[in-house]
Amino acid sequence: MPLKRKDILSIDALSCEEIDLILQTAESFKEVSTRDIKKVPALRGKTIINLFFEPSTRTRTSFELAGKRLSADVINISAASSSAVKNETILDTARNIEAMHSDFIVVRHSASGVPQLLAGVLRSAVINAGDGAHQHPSQGLLDLMTIKEKKGEIKGLKVVIVGDILHSRVARSDIQGLVKYGAEVCVVGPPTLIPSGIERWGVKVSLHMDEALVGADIIIVLRLQLERQSRGFFPTLREYAMLYGLNQNRLNLADPEVLVMHPGPINRGIELSSEIADGLSSVILDQVTNGLAVRMALFFLLSEGSQH
């Protein structure tokens, strides 16, 4: 069964059936990466353009490897953070790329809504690799995959998401996916970094980490963008770490089988202590491995869909 859609723009748009299909497909692709010859011919002759308007190593590499392991041709384009810098509009940039007959355009941009803008005018499949504070659907999918893999079932799990929810596309994608599957989600962070009306998404909001962590099955720690301090969202990194940093004492409040996740890259000693990042509860590297498999699945399923 293929995915009957042209683009992957948000988790919200996907049904549970579609997510199940993506995760099952990803599971079967995991094996490919463990072979001696890590390549299958599924996307031979297809062209993938990674169009990254924001610096990224992990996500871009993951999409690049995913394409290459499926035998697609992959080109990486790192554009300036705003197309206006080059005085070319983003639509012109994208149309120029498509004129070279791309099949997939993977786009990351600091402005929310750019993948939608491109998907509306391009024939290529558009995969959102992170747009502003809006969505990061492949991250949401790989987090669901990691949780399912380790816990079996998502329904009923107590998930705590900690940090800068306001500016986080990962939080938005994770919340939508987790709520779809019936998890009990609580977001915790300083109120200056909690977006207005997030309760409407079916999550609880807590300002106190110790209270939120009691009995947690999953803790998703978000990366703190260090420049937020200069905007005054919190006084100092030290104080942030004091109130919302995950350390061993706090981890002890959670369920003994708790999983600690982080989308990376980690600010060690700020949002997450090293002992936890490297400890037994951490599944951070499993997330990275699953990310590759999820992105292979997305390329594969969208490509199948386009042939039907």
Partner 1 sequence: MSDKILIKGGRIIDPSHKRDEVADLLIEAGVISGISPSIAQPEGTFRTIDARGLLVVPGLIDLHTHLRVPGFEYKETIASATAAAASGGFTTVCCMPNTNPVNDNQAVTELILERAAAEGLVHVLPVGAITKGSQGKELAEMAELVSAGCVAVSDDGLPVMNSEIMRLAMTYATIFDIPVIDHCEDLNLTADGVIFEGKVSTDLGLRGIPSSSETVMVARDIELAELTGARVHLAHISTAGSVQLIREAKKRGISVTAETCPHYFTLTDEALRGYDSNAKMKPPLASSKDMEAILAGLADGTIEVIATDHAPHASEEKEQELDCAPFGIIGLETALPLSLKLVETGVLSLSDVIEKLTSGPAKVIGQKIGRLGIGDRADITLIDPDVEWTVKASDMKSLSKNSPFIGWTMKGRASTVIVSGKVLEGLYDGGKLR
Smallest distance, partner 1 to C-beta of residue 142, A: 19
Q: What is the spatial distance between Cα 245 and Cα 219, in angstroms, rounded to a whole number? A: 12
Task: Return the number of the residue (102 or 173) whose C-beta is nearest partner 1.
Answer: 173
Q: What is the spatial distance between Cα 167 and Cα 189, in angstroms, rounded to a whole number? A: 12
CA separation, residue 144 to residues 150, 179, 290, 302 (Å): 10, 11, 10, 19
Counting contacts by CB under 8 A, is residue 113 touching partner 1?
Answer: yes
Q: What is the spatial distance between Cα 171 and Cα 143, in angstroms, rounded to a whole number? A: 11
Task: Return the number of the residue (133 or 144) whose C-beta is nearest partner 1.
Answer: 133
Task: Return the number of the residue (158 or 172) whose C-beta is nearest partner 1.
Answer: 172
**Per-position x/- string for 160-179, each x denoting binding to partner 1 as judged by CB under 8 A, each - no binding:** ---------x--x-------
- Would you state the torsion angle of the CA atoms of residues 259, 255, 144, 48, taken in this order, to the nearest 10 degrees? -20
- Which stretch in 56-64, 81-89, 219-227, 267-275 sits in contact with partner 1 by CB under 8 A? 81-89
Which residues, other chains included, contact 130 with Cβ-Cβ below 8 Å and sequence gap of 6+?
54, 56, 59, 108, 109, 136, 139, 169
DSSP classification of residue 226: G
**Per-position x/- string for 121-150, each x denoting binding to partner 1 as judged by CB under 8 A, each - no binding:** ----------xxxxx---------------
Hey, is 218 helix, strand or coil? strand
- Which stretch in 56-64, 88-96, 255-263, 279-287 sits in contact with partner 1 by CB under 8 A? 88-96
Structure tokens at 258: 């708790």
Smallest distance, partner 1 to C-beta of residue 196, A: 5
**Per-position x/- string for 37-76, each x denoting binding to partner 1 as judged by CB under 8 A, each - no binding:** ----------------------------------------
Span 204-243, contacts to partner 1 by CB under 8 A: 231
Task: Return the number of the residue (67 or 130) whose C-beta is nearest partner 1.
Answer: 130
Q: What is the spatial distance between Cα 287 and Cα 293, in angstroms, rounded to a whole number? A: 10
Site residues for partner 1 per CB under 8 A: 82-84, 89-91, 109-114, 116-117, 131-135, 169, 172, 195-198, 200-201, 231
